[in-house]
Chains A and B, each alone.
Chain A
Amino acid sequence: MTSPRSLAGPRSAPALTAPSGGLPEPVLAAEHLTKCFGDRTAVDDLNLEVARGEVFGFLGPNGAGKSTTVRMFGTLIAPTSGSALVAGVPLGPGNGVEIRRRISVMPESPGLYLRLSVTENLELFAGLYGLRHSSQRIGRALEAVNMSGRASDTCGSLSKGLRQRVALARALLNDPQVVFLDEPTAGLDPVATREVHELVDSLRQHAVTVFLTTHRLEEAERLCDRVAIFNTTLRLTGTPDELRRRLFTRALEVRTLAALPDPGKVFDGLPAVEAWSSDQPGSYILRVSEPSAAAPAVARSLVAAGADVLAIGERQHSLEDVYLRLIDDDVEVERR
C-alpha cells in the first residue's frame, strides 16, 4: 500500500461529525489520532465520537488500520500523535491501568491458552481483573455464550467458532463499559454468527458501548447504530441511513405494466420531481428530494394518465453500495 496521504487527496469525502446536540457525552473519542509504523501511516488523523450505549461499526477493507485503531484504544500501542478518550478516561501513559479496567478487547485471533481448559483460561482473567466471586461470574459469562457444557474442555480441543465464543466470554467477565470486538464473526458459520449478533444486541440492552470492526456490511447494517467507513483516513460517519442519503440522491422507482406513451407529460409537471429517466420500457427513476411526499402525487398523475401502476417505491441502496462507492476508488488508485 502506498502512502495513504496521497490516496486521500481531495477525493476523500469530508467526515460527518457526530450529529451535534442530541448526543450524550462521548464515552469513546478520538482527535487527530494517527499511527505510523516507520514511514507507513496505518491510521491517519482519525476523529470520531461514540456515545454511551452505542453500537459503533468501524468498517474498512483489509489493511485499513482497523486493528491498529483498536490496539491504540486498548492501550497496546501508543499513537504517534493525536489524543483519545477511552471509557471516559484520556488515553495517556499514566492512565493505562484505569482504562483497561473499564474496557475489554476481543482481538482478531481469540488468543486462548490452548493447553488450559476453558475455565482455567477464564480464571486467569478473573484474577487479572481482580474479580470477586469469580466462579459465579465465569459461570454467567459462559452461559451468555452457550458454553457452560464445555467448561472443562481443553481450549485446544475446541473448534474455531467455539474458541471465538470463549474469547467473547472472556471479554464479558469484567462487566466492561466499552467492548472492542475486532472482527468477532470472522470465520464463523451462519448460526454462530447469529449468536454473536444476539450477544451484541444484548450488550446494547445493557447499555454497554460496543466498538465493532468488520468488513461484513450486512453485519454492520444489522447491528450498528452508527458506522464509520474507514480506510486509513475516516471517509464517512453516520447512521447507515445517513450514509445512503449522503452518497446517493434519493429517488423513486416506478414500474408500469406497459411503457408510458409520453412519460414527459406525466412527470414533468410535478413539482416534487426534480428529474426523471427511464432505463427500460415501463421502468422509471424519478429524482426527488422527499420520496414520501412525492410518491402520492406521482401515483395520482400516473392514474390520471391511465397507466397501470405495478409499483412505486423508494430506490434502496444497501450499505454495501455506500461502502463500495467509497472504497472502490481507493483500490483503483492503489492498483494504478
Chain B
Amino acid sequence: MSFSWGRASAVLRKELRDYRHNRFVIMTMAMLPLIFIALPVVDIVTIPASASNARLDKLIGLSLLYMLLIPAIVPSVLSAYSVVGEREQGTLEPVLTTPLRREEFLVGKALAALVPALGIAYAVFGVFLVIAAAFAHPGVTSVLFDSSHLLVQLLFTPLLAGWSIWVGIAISARSSDVRVAQQLSTFASLPPLALVALMSLNVIAPTLGLALGLGAALLVLDGLGWRGVSLLFDRERLVTGHRSRPAARVSTGGLPRPAVGERSPTVPATLSLTRKWGGIMQGGRPFEILLDRELVGDISSQGTVELPLQPGRHTLQIGIGRRTSPTREFDASEGEMVRFWCRGQLFWPLYLASLIKADLSITLKRE
C-alpha cells in the first residue's frame, strides 16, 4: 500500500469546504490581498515618467516584493490553523483512526493552504499588472513587463508559499493555541522573503541566473521543510497534544517534619517565589510549583508564595502542562530565605525555540 491521492484529496476537499464557513479564514483571504495591493498600485501609478532608471527599478522591485508577502503570509495563517484547529475541535482522533497516512494528511493540508494562496497571489498580481498597463507611464510598464520581473514573481510565489506552509504546519503540530500558532508562523514565514528582498532592492544584482539560483535554493528549503515536517509528525503527539510530564502529586514533601526527641530542632529554611507580570501565558492559569518534583502549589501573576523547606539540597521547577521552566537546583541552609522569581518567556526568539525545547517557556531565576 502506498500514497493515495484519493485520501489526500479527501482531506483537501474537506479543508476547502471548511474554509467557506470559517469567518476568520474568509476575512484573512479578503483583507490581506486588499492591503497588499493598495500600496503597490498607488506607487506604480504615481511614479513620474521623469524618474531615473535606478529609482524606477527600485520602486518596481519594492512593489513586487510587497506583493510577495501574500504567498508568504496567507498560507502560513491557513496552515498554522490546520493542526491545532483540528485538535481544538477534537477531530484529529477520528481522522487518525482511518487508513489515512501521515504523508497523505500532510499533502492534503498543504494543498489546502497552497491552492487559495496561489489563487489569491496570482489574481492580485494580475490585477496589479492590468492597472499598471492602463494607468502607469509607458516607461514604467516597459520595465515592469520585462520578462525577468514577471518570471521572478511567478516563480517565487509558490516557492515562498511552500516554505510558509511547512513552517506553519510544523508550528501548528506543536502548539495548543490557534492564535499563538498563527502569530509564530507568520513571523517564521518571513526570513526567505528577506533573500528575495535583497535582490528586489538591487542590493544583490538581480540577474536571471541569480534569481534561478535563489529559486533552486528555496526549492531545496521547501523539500527540507517537507522532510522535517513529516519526521516531526508523530501520531501520538498529535493526539495527546504534548509529551507527558512526570506525574505530579500534591504533597507536603518540602515541609519540615516536626523535630522529635532530644535532638535540637532544625530551623526550617524558606523558599520565596515571586511571579513577575508579563510574558507568554500571562493571561492563563496559575503556574504550578514543583518542589523536588512534587506539586506543592501554584502561583498567579504578580503573586508571591513562601514555602517552608527542610535545609538541604532541593530542586525547583515551574510549569503548566509541557510548558515549563528549566529545573533549578539550590541549597538551603538553616533559617535561610531562598528567593526566586519567574515569568512567562518575554523574548520571541526564545519563545519560538520553546516549541522545541519546552523548558524555555518560563524564565526561573534566583534573585
Contacts and interface: CB of A to CB of B under 8 A. Distances in A.
Interface of A: 1-2, 37-40, 71, 74-78, 97-98, 100-101, 103-107, 109-116, 120, 123-130, 154, 167, 170, 174
Interface of B: 1, 4, 6-7, 9-11, 13-14, 17-18, 21-22, 89-101, 235-236, 239-240, 244-247, 249
A76 B239 contact: yes
B169 to A, nearest CB: 18
Nearest to B9: A127
Contacts of B94: 105-107, 111, 125, 167, 170
Given A120-B17, A128-B10, A128-B100, A109 B244 contact: no
Contact of B244 (A38, A97, A104, A107): A38
Nearest to B249: A2
Given A40-B247, A127-B9, A130-B4, A76 B22 contact: no
Q: Point out which of B93, B100, B246 has the most chain A C-beta atoms below 10 A from its C-beta.
A: B93
B98 A76 contact: no
A124 B11 CA distance: 7
Nearest to B92: A111
Contacts of B22: 115
Given A111-B91, A115-B22, A125 B239 contact: no
14 contacts: A2-B249, A38-B246, A71-B239, A76-B239, A97-B99, A105-B97, A106-B94, A111-B92, A113-B89, A115-B22, A116-B18, A126-B10, A127-B6, A167-B94
Given A40-B247, A98-B1, A124-B10, A116 B99 contact: no
Contact of A78 (B10, B93, B236): B236
A38 B18 contact: no
B119 to A, nearest CB: 21
Nearest to B243: A38
Given A97-B99, A167-B94, 18 more contacts: A37-B244, A40-B246, A76-B236, A105-B93, A107-B94, A111-B94, A111-B95, A113-B89, A114-B89, A115-B21, A116-B18, A123-B13, A124-B11, A124-B14, A124-B95, A125-B94, A128-B7, A128-B10
Contacts of B246: 38-40
A77 B240 contact: yes
Given A38-B246, A38-B247, A39-B246, A100 B236 contact: no
Contact of B239 (A2, A77, A130, A154): A77
A78 B244 CA distance: 13
A113 B99 contact: no
A130 B6 contact: yes
Contact of B91 (A75, A101, A113, A130): A113
A217 to B, nearest CB: 26
B18 A77 contact: no
B10 A97 contact: no
A297 B247 CA distance: 59
B99 A75 contact: no
A128 B95 contact: yes
A128 B98 contact: yes
A127 B7 contact: yes
Contacts of B92: 111
Contacts of B245: 38
Contact of B97 (A74, A109, A114, A127): A74
A126 B10 CA distance: 9
